[in-house]
Amino acid sequence: MKILLFGKNGQLGWELQRSLAPLGELVALCRHSTEFCGDLQRPDALADTVERIAPDVIVNAAAYTAVDQAEAEPEIARAVNARAPALLARLASERKAWLVHYSTDYVFNGGGDTPWRESCPTAPINVYGQTKLEGEAAIQDSGCRHLIFRTSWVYAARGGNFAKTMLRLGQERDTLTVIDDQVGAPTGADLLADVTAHALRAAVREPALAGLYHLAAGGETSWHGYAAFVLEQARAAGVELKTAPGAVLPVDSSGFPTAARRPLNSRLDTRKLQEAFGLHLPDWRVGVTRLLTEILDKT
């Protein structure tokens, strides 16, 4: 099996390089690759890349993920998150290749407090979520064989994420103010990558498994609960923090204004994935603890 991976240097792309390697020949590209084009904003060159590599599977881990910035540059977000996946889907369809793609909890409006199922109505409340939804729809409409994984609150040892921001701020500030009315599940890029490899292997054998799946770690928390957990673990590991226990102050969304609105309810119901692929998704604390062990060991 020949796999073409886009976005190899992102949080997920980096982990996918490890998880996908045992499945076959892997060609991994980033925006600045030279021999082949890995820039999702260059459609002609992208089509040429796919033609020359002739992959059996295209895995798209590249995306425009700057949620607040997307409000100011919707056309760039749309080119990367919607138009490029649409092109990759057409190219995959033409050559009967699989397309693996990732989407987000931000396709939902955040109403209610029950976990979203794949069949729930989408209604994004920010530009990033809207463009990611357009990408999903284009893939589904193309008729290509695909796996789309909607996930949430991704972190990894490599790359920027909320856990690392909290670790840094905890060493700089006496108090932190963190939103406690947005609820979801922090999900490790390593878990996403391993589940992708497992699911892809199964789907190639059993094409009826193609489709859209929610994929997130088990359990739930708020950004405030997540921040408090990260700092508590760091303190226990001997990191000197300026933020004292109890000085992570909970606020509702209006207490921490941002350019983009975020959904209050980001819970994803992952039963479809677990049943289809015979998987158990571990609690979010398991992965975050591993992340901290890894990054604190290096400091």
65 counts as binding ligand TDO under rule CB under 6 A? yes
Our CB check for ligand TDO shows the closer of 204 and 215 to be 215
11 counts as binding ligand TDO under rule CB under 6 A? no
CA–CA separation, 263 and 104 (whole Å): 11
Q: Smallest distance, Å, CB 274 to ligand TDO?
A: 20
- Determine the Cα angle at 298 with ends 296 and 299, to 5°: 70
CA–CA separation, 97 and 103 (whole Å): 20
Tokens of 21: 């390697």
- Known catalytic membership, residue 128: yes
Site for ligand TDO in 147-166 (CB under 6 A): 152-154, 162, 165
Reduced to 3 states (helix: H, G, I; strand: E, B; else coil), residue 95 is helix
Our CB check for ligand NDP shows the closer of 153 and 223 to be 153
Among candidate residues 64, 106, 128, 213, the one labeled active-site is 128
Q: Smallest distance, Å, CB 42 to ligand NDP?
A: 8
The stretches of 143-248 forming alpha helices (DSSP H) are 162-172, 189-205, 223-236
268 within 8 A of 183, measured Cβ to Cβ:
no
Residue 258: name its binding partner from ligand NDP, ligand TDO, none (Cβ under 5 to 8 Å by kind): ligand TDO
Q: Smallest distance, Å, CB 103 to ligand NDP?
A: 6
CA distances from 243 to 74, 75, 227, 240 (A): 36, 39, 11, 9
Of 51, 63, 132, the C-alpha closest to 92 is 51
**Cβ-closest position to ligand TDO:** 104
Amino acid making up residue 110: G
Q: Smallest distance, Å, CB 246 to ligand NDP?
A: 27
Which residue ranges make up the site for ligand NDP (CB under 6 A)? 7, 9-13, 31, 38-41, 61-65, 80, 102, 104, 132, 151-154, 159, 189
Active site residues: 128
Which residue ranges make up the site for ligand TDO (CB under 6 A)? 65, 67, 104-106, 152-154, 162, 165, 176-179, 182, 223, 256, 258, 262
